[in-house]
């Protein structure tokens, strides 16, 4: 996507629409991964097989992005020599570190606590973009919007139960490290996207990261054997989710401040709960007053961050 062609992504309606598509896709991954485990007969405690499943998904996602990007550009996408270092950095933070820590952490804590802690990546993105990478200014609106949006994430997850005061490094600690790794990948993608095609970066980082996670899964005893039309179709769908959402997200980061894009990430767990309710038949968890209040809080948080404000904190 050329710089001129992508200018429309700077407009607020376009940003909101495309970001919501990404969040809906990522939100659908929550129930679809659970369904995928059922179709492939992967037990809930089989972390190695789950990592193998994730590695296959991301490798396939990368291949899809490269093929689609090549067809769109009418030539095969090949990274420039200077781009390989950027691809490796993105692959390390976006796929390898994030998902290895996530899968190990998820096996040692509850899904509810994981969703809440993962939402902290929005704070990390804004702080890193403002204070470390100096890509934008830290404003009162950004902090306030994040607090309000995060409150919505906490509320919708409390609605599902499963909270306790226990904390351990290999559980909640690893989930927090996963969230930080994702935030690092977002600010790096914002930085690298100025000179490189986000689709190219996305495709190749997924292939490299996916292969590394696949190897980790195999070396630790992971196995996947139940390939049917349904399970294979679900694997392809999840690959499409990663390929499509991350490519769109990369272009949004290319043309907008990282904070304005990152705050939409609060919608991921909201979509996750709503779509889980529809696909896993748990409607009472998503459509009660707590679920609707959480959705309002997240939307208010997004609005506050994206409104114009010149009151700079740092």
* Whether pLDDT at 3 is above 70: no
pTM: 0.85
Q: What is the pLDDT of residues 256-288, one digit of tens each?
A: 999 999 999 888 888 887 787 777 765 555 556
* Placement of tokens 């994030």 in the chain: 98
Q: Which comes out higher in pLDDT, residue 263 or 164?
A: 263
Give the count of beta carbons closer than 10 Å to the beta carbon of residue 285: 18
Tell me, rounded to whole angstroms, the distance of Cα 162 from its chain centroid.
Answer: 22
Residue 312's SS3 state is strand
Tell me, rounded to whole angstroms, the distance of Cα 261 from its chain centroid.
Answer: 12
Asked if residue 2 belongs to a domain, the reply is: no
DSSP 73-132: HTS-----TTHHHHHHHHIIIIIIIHHHHHHHHHTTS-HHHHHHHHTTHHHHHHHIIIII
Domains in the chain, number:
1
Asked if residue 234 belongs to a domain, the reply is: yes
CA distance 290 to 157: 9
Residue 311 banded pLDDT, cuts 50, 70, 90:
low
Supply the pLDDT for residue 312: 59
Asked if residue 253 belongs to a domain, the reply is: yes
Asked if residue 3 belongs to a domain, the reply is: no
Asked if residue 313 belongs to a domain, the reply is: no
- Percentage of the chain surpassing pLDDT 70? 89
Residue 185 banded pLDDT, cuts 50, 70, 90:
very high
Q: Which comes out higher in pLDDT, residue 222 or 282?
A: 222
Q: What is the pLDDT of residues 226-247, one digit of tens each?
A: 999 999 999 999 999 999 999 9
Asked if residue 150 belongs to a domain, the reply is: yes
Q: What does the pLDDT average to over 158-166?
A: 57
Supply the pLDDT for residue 249: 94
* Whether pLDDT at 105 is above 60: yes
Asked if residue 311 belongs to a domain, the reply is: no
* Whether pLDDT at 290 is above 80: no
Please give the residue range of the domain that contains residue 61: 10-306
Closest among 180, 32, 219, 194 to 94, alpha carbons compared:
180
Given a contact cutoff of 8 angstroms between Cβ atoms, the answer to whether 27 and 275 are in contact is yes
Supply the pLDDT for residue 292: 74
Supply the pLDDT for residue 65: 95
Residue 45's SS3 state is coil
Length of the chain: 314
* Whether pLDDT at 162 is above 70: no
Residue 297 banded pLDDT, cuts 50, 70, 90:
confident
* Whether pLDDT at 159 is above 70: no
Given a contact cutoff of 8 angstroms between Cβ atoms, the answer to whether 263 and 146 are in contact is yes
Supply the pLDDT for residue 287: 57
CA distance 173 to 220: 22
Q: What does the pLDDT average to over 70-93?
A: 94
Q: Quick one: DSSP state of residue 173?
A: I
Asked if residue 200 belongs to a domain, the reply is: yes
Closest among 42, 67, 16 to 243, alpha carbons compared:
67
* Whether pLDDT at 156 is above 90: no
């Amino acid at each position: 996507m050329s710089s001129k062609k992508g200018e429309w992504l700077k407009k607020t309606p376009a940003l909101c629409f495309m970001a919501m598509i990404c969040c809906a896709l990522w939100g659908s991954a929550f129930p679809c991964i659970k369904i995928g485990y059922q179709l492939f007969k992967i037990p809930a405690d089989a972390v190695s097989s789950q990592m193998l499943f994730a590695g296959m998904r991301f490798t396939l996602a990368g291949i899809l992005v490269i093929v689609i990007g090549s067809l769109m550009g009418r030539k095969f996408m090949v990274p420039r020599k200077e781009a390989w270092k950027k691809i490796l950095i993105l692959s390390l933070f976006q796929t390898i570190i994030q998902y290895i820590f996530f899968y190990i952490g998820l096996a040692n804590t509850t899904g509810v606590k994981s969703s809440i802690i993962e939402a902290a990546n929005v704070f990390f993105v804004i702080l890193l973009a403002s204070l470390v990478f100096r890509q934008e200014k830290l404003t009162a609106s950004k902090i306030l919007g994040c607090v309000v949006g995060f409150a919505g994430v906490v509320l919708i997850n409390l609605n599902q139960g499963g909270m306790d005061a226990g904390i351990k490094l290999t559980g909640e600690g690893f989930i927090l490290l996963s969230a930080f790794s994702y935030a690092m990948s977002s600010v790096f993608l914002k930085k690298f996207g100025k000179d490189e095609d986000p689709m190219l970066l996305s495709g190749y980082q997924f292939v490299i990261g996916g292969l590394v996670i696949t190897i980790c899964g195999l070396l630790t005893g992971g196995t996947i054997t139940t390939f049917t039309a349904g399970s294979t179709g679900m694997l392809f769908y999840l690959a499409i989710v990663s390929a499509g959402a991350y490519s769109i997200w990369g272009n949004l980061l290319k043309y907008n401040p990282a904070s304005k894009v990152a705050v939409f990430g609060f919608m991921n767990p909201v979509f996750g709960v709503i779509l889980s309710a529809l696909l896993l038949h748990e409607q009472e968890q998503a459509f009660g007053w707590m679920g609707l209040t959480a959705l309002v809080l997240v939307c208010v948080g997004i609005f506050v961050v994206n409104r114009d404000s010149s009151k700079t904190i740092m």
